[in-house]
Structures are given as C-alpha cells and as structure tokens.
Amino acid sequence: MSSLSEFQLLSVLAQEMNMRKASERLFVSQPALSQRLQTIEKDWETKLFIRSQKGLALTPSGEQVIQFVNEVLKKEEKVRESIHSLQGGVSGTLKIAVASIVGQNWLPQVLKQYIDTYPQAKISLVTGWSSEILKCLHDDQVHIGIIRGTPDWKGAKIHLFSDPLYLVDRVITKPEQVLDTDRPFIQFKSDSNYYQEIQDWWMRNFKTSPKRTIVVDQIETCKQMTFNGIGYSILPSITLKSAEKNIFKIPLLNENQLPLKRDTWLLGYESAFQLKQVNAFVELIKEYISEKKQ
C-alpha cells in the first residue's frame, strides 16, 4: 500500500497532468519523480498515467486510483483538523472561498486582523463567482464561503453587510440623463442575480433599453472605464471607497423609493464552525462588523 506522501504525489500529478510542473510543485527532479511514479505503478500492478509529448493522461485504472487517493487525502486533512482543534490555541488551515469583489475590497482588512491575532493559523483562499463559491462549499473543499446576493442555503449563514448601488459617471448627474446621452452603458458579467436586478431597475424607470452598451468580464475593468470617462455604469458602493474626484454617484432606488442594495453573506456547515480556526474567524468577523456599525 502506498504511503500518504505517495498519495500526495499522485494527486499533484493528476492536477497538473505534466511531469515538469508536478516536479516543480513537489520540489523534486523530473527523473526522480518519474522513478517514484514507476515504483508506485509497480505497487498498484497497473499503469496509472500514459505519457506523451503533450503531457500526461489518466488510464481507466488511474482514474479509479486517483479518486481513491483524493478521498484518502481529504479524510486525512479532516483528521488533522480535528486534532488541531483539540489542541490549545488556534492553528490549522482556514479554507475560504469568497466572491471576487469581496475578496478585493473588503476581506483583506479582516484577514490582516486574523493573521495578526492568530499567527499559527494558515489561510487557503479561493476567489470566483458566487455560484463557484457555493460549489466549493457543496463539494466540501472549503470551510467558509462568502457570496453576494440572497443565498438558498440550508446550513449556517451570517449576514455581513449591505451596500447600495450607484449610477456612476463623470457627466451624468441625474438618472434620466441616460436617455439623452450617446455614451455607452458599461456593464460587467455576473452569474448572480445582480444583472437581473439592474435590468429590472432600468426597465422600471426607463421602459426602453440603453442606446449603447459595453460588456466587460471584470467589475474592476468596468470601474476603470467609467472613471476614465468612456461611459457610465452601475456599481456597488464596496468598489467606490476610494472613488476619484469629479465622479458623480447617484443612488439607485427601488419601487418603494428605498436604496437598492446588494447583500453579502457568510455561509458554512455547522460542523466546520466547530473547528477552532473557523470559529475564531467567524467571531473576528462579527466583531469587525459590529465596530463598523458603530
């Protein structure tokens, strides 16, 4: 039976599908890695990878072995986490998946406090769209997910903050002026209900589509294009903390004439919250939010 170190080797190979990249991650030479793989395959009495000029490919036997390997490594990590939680102090790895906009604009301040308070703890951070964050949680890849929008989540969830939406431009000072301008409405891609909220607001107020639109893949690109006068956009306040001068920010109102806002939530399973490094992070966030409200 292969050892855990050999399981880790196989897992890295399956992730990279490239001997050179895998050897760099494992800090071994390619010949040494090749030799170790041959030994492992001999132990399993089957070929696990097919080598070619393009890289590696898993054999059918290899697919089964890698699935087994990843299950063992995941269980090993859970045991280590449980052991750490039994020991004094906060240690172990805190695994977080967070919506990119929150990871760029809000989370760094919280993580700085966490690292300063618990220097023995490690952090594994993944960013992406909210749908990707939910998938990471469902697949048990992370302890905590931070998403935008209103989640359909059965586990533990904590409301972090709401930030209002603004029509942002260098020229427009009133929402109705968008009907008179030939400058484009700059939008960014999103897989959450954000896009639908904007569409609903627009049709409710103007009953017609924008004359011109530009769609970009990142909210930061949208922001910079707006700040440079290319067009106007609708942005959440979380991205406008350090807004340039001469930028007009017009609050969006819903059908009840109340500010239109985006919610941000922290999600997780109760079992994860029992880990010391996770519980410490959650408590720190609660304190941080409370201080901000004051």
30 vs 3, higher pLDDT: 30
CA-to-CA distance for 148 and 111, rounded, in angstroms?
A: 18
Which pLDDT belongs to residue 76?
Answer: 85
Nearest CA to 152 out of 127, 131, 129 is that of 131
CA-to-CA distance for 16 and 261, rounded, in angstroms?
A: 41
CA-to-CA distance for 220 and 195, rounded, in angstroms?
A: 16
For the chain, domains (ranges, CATH) are 4-85 (1.10.10.10), 88-161+263-293 (3.40.190.10), 163-261 (3.40.190.290)
CA-to-CA distance for 264 and 129, rounded, in angstroms?
A: 13
Q: Collapsing DSSP states into helix, strand and coil, what is residue 210? A: coil
Which pLDDT belongs to residue 154?
Answer: 87
Question: Beta-carbon neighbour count of residue 234 at 10 Å?
Answer: 23
Which pLDDT belongs to residue 86?
Answer: 63
Q: Is the pLDDT of residue 185 over 80?
A: yes
Which pair of structure tokens corresponds to residue 96?
């977080």
What sign results for the dihedral spanned by CA atoms 265, 268, 274, 277?
Answer: negative
Evaluate whether 156 touches 269 at the Cβ level (below 8 Å): yes
pLDDT tens-place string over residues 149-172:
888 888 899 999 999 999 999 999
Confidence of residue 246 (pLDDT cuts 50, 70, 90): confident
Give the amino acid at 109: Q
Answer whether 0.85 is exceeded by the pTM.
Answer: no
pLDDT tens-place string over residues 268-292:
999 899 888 999 999 999 999 988 7
List beta partners, residue 97: 126, 145
Evaluate whether 163 touches 237 at the Cβ level (below 8 Å): yes
Provide φ and ψ at 256, rounded to 5°: -95, 10
